[in-house]
Amino acid sequence: MQAKLSIAEFVERLAKKCPVFETGKFREQVEEKICFRLPNHLSTSTAFALLRLEDDGYIQLKKESDADLFIFPSADNEAGFSHIIWRGVEL
Domain residue ranges in the chain: 3-86
pLDDT mean by block of 10 residues, the chain; 91 residues: 86 89 80 76 86 92 89 74 85 48
Question: What pLDDT, on the 0 to 100 scale, is given for residue 76?
Answer: 61
Which spans in the chain are helix H? 7-17, 25-34, 44-55
Global pTM reads 0.78
Q: So what's the pLDDT on residue 74?
A: 67
The pLDDT assigned to 77 comes to: 60
- CA 15, CA 22: separation in Å to the nearest integer? 6
